[in-house]
Amino acid sequence: DAGVTQSPTHLIKTRGQQVTLRCSPKSGHDTVSWYQQALGQGPQFIFQYYEEEERQRGNFPDRFSGHQFPNYSSELNVNALLLGDSALYLCASSHWTGNTEAFFGQGTRLTVV
Amino acid sequence: AQKVTQAQTEISVVEKEDVTLDCVYETRDTTYYLFWYKQPPSGELVFLIRRNSFDEQNEISGRYSWNFQKSTSSFNFTITASQVVDSAVYFCALSELGLYNTDKLIFGTGTRLQVFP
């Protein structure tokens, strides 16, 4: 049983560009949450998707947007990249009922130069 | 506002020593969940434990144990007889119970544990 998978593993982008990160949830999970983890910090909640809709959002600007597909996979899009967007982006999946803990992927390391 | 504080930035121990990682939380909610996650160098967050606010019973799982005390808003984690493989960053996290599921986690800044042979 595959766990949460994220792609790509590493990414280098230039300031002002746009980026798309992808996440496939663990089998049986229907909810995907995205987190940003800056170096030396704890992860910060970006948003959460369930039934293809954004259900909760953290304190992130509109440059951060997402999407969930009918197969529960999800994308995180970041527009107009800033140097400060450089971080590890983690995807977590779970079941909407909350009866299971969140399982995390290995993350995508984004570097903005 | 919700907040998780892990005052210990880094801890170094020698193998077989016991080590306790501290976690203090703040919340105005009466119902909430507390978590511990382990992050090895690979980056993936590995779930260790979830505890709800109604269950203050301490828990032991192998070499791991957790001490939850609502009176002091603390949820400390002890590793007994530490091993080199325990070296990682450990995060304490909090989430509220409400209309939505519990995955909006508020993380502390983490404690880096280094276990030397």
Instruction: Report percent pLDDT > 70 for chain B.
Output: 94
Q: Who has greater pLDDT, A13 or B51?
A: A13
d(CA A60, CA A77): 12
The 10 Å CB-count burial string (b at 16+, else e) for B27-62 is beeeebbbbbbbbeeebbbeebbbbebeeeeeeeee
Report which listed range, A26-30, A96-100, B15-19, B54-58, is most confident: B15-19
d(CA B26, CA B56): 16
Q: Is B110 on the interface with A (CB under 8 A)?
A: yes
Q: Is residue B99 over pLDDT 60?
A: no
Residues 13-52 of A with CB under 8 A from B: 31, 33, 35, 40-45, 48, 50
Q: Is B43 on the interface with A (CB under 8 A)?
A: yes
d(CA A103, CA A3): 8
List chain B residues with CB under 8 Å of A104. 37, 44-47
B24-67 pLDDT, tens digit each: 999 988 888 899 999 998 889 999 998 888 888 888 889 999 99
Residue in the structure block whose two tokens are 């530490």: B82
Q: Is the C-alpha dihedral spanning B61, B67, B68, B73 positive or negative?
A: negative
Q: Is A57 on the interface with B (CB under 8 A)?
A: no
Within 10 angstroms of residue B10's Cβ, the number of other Cβ atoms is 10
Report which listed range, B29-33, B82-86, B101-105, is most confident: B82-86
